Amino acid sequence: MTQSSDTTSYKDIKQTVLRRIRSGDWPPDMLLPNEQELAVTFSCTRTTVNRALRELAEEGFLERRRKAGTRVLSAPQRQARFSIPLIRDEIEALGGTYRYALVSSEAQPAPDWLAARLALSAGQQVQHVRCMHYSTNTPFQYEDRWIVIDSVPQVAQADFSEIGPNDWLVQTVPFTNVELTFLASRADATVAGFLDLPEGEPVFTAERITWLQGQPVTFAKLYFGAGYRMTTQV
């Protein structure tokens, strides 16, 4: 049964496809009709169909291969999803009052370890920004960030005295890929001083790299104060 193009949305298509998978109408390993056929069935555009199928693939229900088509997976592949809000939103959601403080911001050649990590050329310039985020007056996060100037030339004129580098990047440049790494590290003298911890104390640490169309944009190392909690959904 077709649906009116006035009411069909990608969410409608997702729900219908999921219902057919879960009911067994579209069993595991079944090859779905192509996008054009589904667009006719749902009386909508291929773009709408593509978005629905793409999201279902990202959620682990479908496998999509170029030229091979879209197939129902034999078992949904559950994936952990991390919610990474802006630090201001995270603090305010916990009932705190957000406060930001710039520590330093300077252009410099990328250190060797960073050049290797981001595949930068020798001596390539980066903007090194360090800042603190507080919940009311309690240290919440120490941010140590490098922004690739060739990828974001506007950063040379950016003023981080009132706005954090992450907020500024969100407003200034998009990204297409993100790599996240979570680890426990020990606070060196600098981190311990900013987070008001004993030196050598284990701290929750996140490393975040973003790219735009294959070009590295920024590398950030984020250190969180005592009691920080991250929740994932599967």
Please write the tens of the pLDDT for every residue from 132-172.
999 999 999 999 999 999 999 999 999 999 999 999 998 88
**82-228 classified as CATH 3.40.1410.10:** yes
List the one residue out of 210, 204, 211, 209 whose CA is nearest residue 229. Answer: 204
**Sheet holding 125-135: strands in order across?**
98-109, 125-135, 138-148, 215-224, 202-212, 177-186
Whether the CB-CB separation of 184 and 226 falls below 8 Å is answered with: no
pTM confidence score? 0.67
Please write the tens of the pLDDT for every residue from 187-226.
999 999 999 999 999 999 999 999 987 899 999 999 998 8
**10-72 classified as CATH 1.10.10.10:** yes
List the one residue out of 83, 189, 98 whose CA is nearest residue 141. Answer: 98
Distance CA 158, CA 150 (A): 14
CA torsion 117-157-85-12 (nearest 10°) is -90
Which residue ranges make up each domain of the chain?
10-72, 82-228
Q: What is the DSSP string of 160-222?
A: -SSS-HHHHHHHH---SEEEEEEEEEE--HHHHHHHT--TT-EEEEEEEEEEETTEEEEEEEE
pLDDT of residue 152: 94
Distances (CA, A) of 158 to 95, 144, 150, 155, 163: 30, 16, 14, 5, 9
